Amino acid sequence: MRPIQLPDTDIVYAIGDIHGRLDLLEQAADMIEAHAGGRSHTVVCLGDYVDRGPDSRGVIEFLMRWDRQGGLVCLKGNHEAMLLDGFGEERAFWLGNGGEATLASYGGEIPREHLIWMQDLPVVARDAHRIYVHAGLMPRLELAEQDEDTCLWIRERFLWAPASALPAHVVHGHTPRHGRKEQPEVPERLAHRTNLDTGAWWTGVLAVGVFDANTPGGPTEILPVRGPPG
């Protein structure tokens, strides 16, 4: 897997799984702009923009506009992959995992432009100190040896891996709750990885991690965006 290299800026902001919560995404964009205060910055969205929440179409349209303006890197999540696969044999699987809410937000038909945008999303990004990916990495494999399915879907083997098994600090989403993360709305901050999935579509909390581009490790702070529970 070949990652894209993030621009050289002062700050990297990473936004966790959005899942159709346009209300939270709009707040996050405003919060980031105010927090940056004119400093150079890049925003990385960690995937899962669609499904489950009420306004997947609004989220995609917002991100596409932001993407055209620059300063934003959107990574592919497993729900974007499921949506794309949902136009073939995997349709029932996608619909059963939140796809019905996405179709409803689009009135039953997703524009080709939106499908192409999702298809072309990168899977992995990195800066000088960290790797950004939706779900995680296969432990003890070099980044070049990772495959897309692993980056979009992995859970337990990655979540329980020690720092020595990963090539750098990993910033990810995908798993709002597991054995080490019992409170979905609280980001998971470990020495070797940061999990920003806060189950936004039902908790009403979207996490934005703030990373100093010149400092290794996890976020200097977390900006919590709050709205009504789903």
Domains held by the chain: number: 1
CB atoms within 10 A of CB 24: 28
Distance linking the first and last C-alpha atoms of the chain:
35
pLDDT tens string 172-213: 999 999 998 999 999 999 999 999 999 999 999 999 999 998
Give the DSSP letter of residue 3: P
User: Residue 60: which of 82, 45, 38 has the closest Cα?
Assistant: 45
pLDDT score, position 88: 65
Q: Residues 214-225: pLDDT tens digits? A: 899 999 999 999
Question: What confidence score (pLDDT) does residue 89 get?
Answer: 67
Residues 35-85: tens digit of each pLDDT: 999 999 999 999 999 999 999 999 999 999 999 999 999 999 999 999 998
Torsion of CA 188, 93, 118, 106, to 10 degrees: -110
CATH code (residue 158): 3.60.21.10
Tell me, what's the pLDDT at 62?
Answer: 98
Q: How far is CA 5 from CA 27, 83, 124, 196, 197, in A?
A: 27, 26, 9, 20, 23
Q: Rounded mean pLDDT of 109-128?
A: 97
Q: Return the structure tokens found at 168.
A: 């750098």
pLDDT digits (tens, 9 = 90+) for 101-112: 999 999 999 999
Section 157-163 average pLDDT: 98
User: What number of CA atoms fall less than 13 Å from residue 129's CA on the CB side?
Assistant: 18
Instruction: Confirm whether pTM is higher than 0.85.
Output: yes
pLDDT tens by residue, 79-97 = 999 999 887 668 888 998 9
The range of the structural domain enclosing residue 161 comes to: 4-226
Average pLDDT across the chain, whole number? 96
Whether 129 has a pLDDT exceeding 70, the answer reads yes
Average pLDDT over residues 142-162: 97
